[in-house]
Amino acid sequence: MTWLAQAEHLAGEAREPGFGAAHCNARAWRAGVHPAATRSLVAAALLLTSGDAGTALWAHADPCPSDRELLSWTTELEAHVADLLKQCGGLGAGCQAALAQASMVLAAAAPDAEADARMTLGDCGAALEVLDSLRGALDAALRALQQVPGDVCEHYEVPYGFVRQSGPLPRDGGFLTGTATSGAM
């Protein structure tokens, strides 16, 4: 497999956690989580899919059962993106080594190997462009995913404070807003 094909394959794999982030977001929104609390999750989804996850952000999904589940999913996505970033670095290092080797072959003016060396230079050059772009997206998505717990805590600071000091909140948000709910007294 060429260096470029490997880089493109890895870029394709990076879309998976992007759509995973979009699915987590859809489940959070379906549960009534305020969009400000998931802004970094949205950013990660869009970064990893080059914007293709836009409609998946609010697609029909089962509601997220709890904040703990949302944060657990985010942690899993973060680990996946960190692993992809590590793979990207390893592939980039291998490509750089192949590029250096091909440059040495060309410098030695070995006629029997020049054609292969030139192909490697072109392949590695194209692969490094893909990997540089991918590395930037993965790095930004990783930082965004790491921010999700802070976003959630920041947006829900008051209820979290109440829970820490006074115990659980009523399950039905209608109780707090005064709107009638089914089964109300």
109 lies in a domain? Answer: yes
Whole-Å CA distances, 137 to 84, 158, 174 = 11, 33, 40
- Chain centroid to Cα 140, Å, comes to 8
46 lies in a domain? Answer: yes
Least confident of 42-51, 76-85, 135-144, 159-168: 159-168
Contact between 95 and 2 (Cβ < 8 Å): no
For residue 176, the model assigns a pLDDT of: 47
52 lies in a domain? Answer: yes
58 lies in a domain? Answer: yes
pLDDT tens digits along 8-63: 999 999 999 999 999 999 999 998 899 999 999 999 999 999 999 989 998 899 99
Listed as own residue / partner, the contacts of 79-87 with beta carbons closer than 8 Å and 24 or more positions apart are 80/16, 80/17, 80/20, 81/14, 81/17, 81/44, 81/48, 81/138, 81/141, 81/142, 81/145, 82/142, 84/10, 84/13, 84/14, 84/17, 84/138, 85/135, 85/138, 85/139, 85/142, 87/10
Looking at the 3D structure of the chain, how many domains does it have? 1
164 lies in a domain? Answer: yes
Structure tokens at 90: 């390893």
81 lies in a domain? Answer: yes
Contact between 48 and 15 (Cβ < 8 Å): yes
87 lies in a domain? Answer: yes
The domain of 31 spans 3-170
150 lies in a domain? Answer: yes
User: Does pLDDT of 184 surpass 60?
Assistant: no
For residue 170, the model assigns a pLDDT of: 60
Give CA–CA dist 19/96, Å, rounded.
30
